[in-house]
Structure 1
Amino acid sequence: MARFGFIISSFFLLFACANTETLEQKVPQPNEALPQIISLNPLLPEFKPLLNTFAPFELEVRDYRPANYIVSIADGDKVAVLIRNQQSIRSLVKKRLNQGLLEQGKVTLARHDNQLVVDVVKLLTEIEQDPNQFTLTTQVQLHATLLVNDQVQLTKQFKSQQVQTRINLTPEDLNQGLDLHLSNVLQQIIRHTELYQPLVNKDK
């Protein structure tokens, strides 16, 4: 009887261990160690010169995000992992916008009464980890305001967002969503016809 009881106890112990192992295997884990700092690289297509000519203007970019991290990873009650960008977001956005605007034939100057003011309002991927998957919510939001002779002509909001799920999480996943959606928003700003209409030279 004692031997039978031992066998039954051993069976339940093995069953419990097997179940625990199965549960542990279901919990998604990052494939690689995740970095604390990443480097965004939003790629832009080549822009063709426009037929119209435009009055020059100053390009000003301001970073109005409430925090300087661009990725947060939450896992239940644990302290969230916060990941920053290596380069200043303001500098990155200004560099990419300048690149596209110049290719279109729009001249930006260091100082001018005409201004294109771009505010970075949101640039963030929030990652939630649960027992089955990672949920990635990426949001990019920029506001653009055109001033001609210090008078506001137009204010426009540009945004792009997406929700995705992953079984595994790699360092590349941290960049890809933000690069894609930041590139999308920058292209919207560069190509927006109405935004630059007050700068069109009517006599040429």
Structure 2
Amino acid sequence: MRLLGTITPDRPLLVVAVEEEAAHLGASLPVLLTGMGKVNAAVALATVLARGERPAEVLNLGTAGALRAGWAGTHEVARVLQHDLDTPVLRALTGRTFGAPIELDVAGGPVLATGDLFVSDPAARDRLAEQADLVDMEGYAVATVAQRAGVPFRLVKHVSDEAGAGADRAWRESVDSCAKELAAWVRDHLR
């Protein structure tokens, strides 16, 4: 976890997993680098918010894999779900719902599936495509922490690859251009 800049109540906090995705953001807004995965993202954001540092909003920026052909570009997420928590089984065991999908106030945006699995297996991609459009490793965790802390939040993802065979190579090759696109989105939407 690394916080670059100072959090103030009049500016958003940009929450990004790794330096590669934040490479072109500049220094005008605070950036929280969380590390990859749900636990790292949740711990980093919860730690910062627990210190009493309250941004105007939390904006999770990052790359995402496309679960079906045709998805490209930068998207603001309308719904995020946790794909690697067996919510129906846990509900059957306890009578309570853990890990319910989170709806965001975005019309027509994609559904994002978050999990600690870097999806590079075509069978996993096809299974996830039945319920989502994009896949990442941090969005659900960031949304959950911000929601529970009462801080407004948004999730903005740029498609880096088609989740499936070769996704790891495609991510490495495209992450810098994705970072440029995410920085352009910030310039166009937050200034």
TM more than 0.5: no
Q: Which has the higher strand share?
A: 1
TM-score (norm 1): 0.27
Instruction: Give the structure with higher Rg (CA).
Output: 1
Flag the structure with more relative contact order, 1 or 2, with Cα contacts below 8 A and sequence separation at least 6: 2
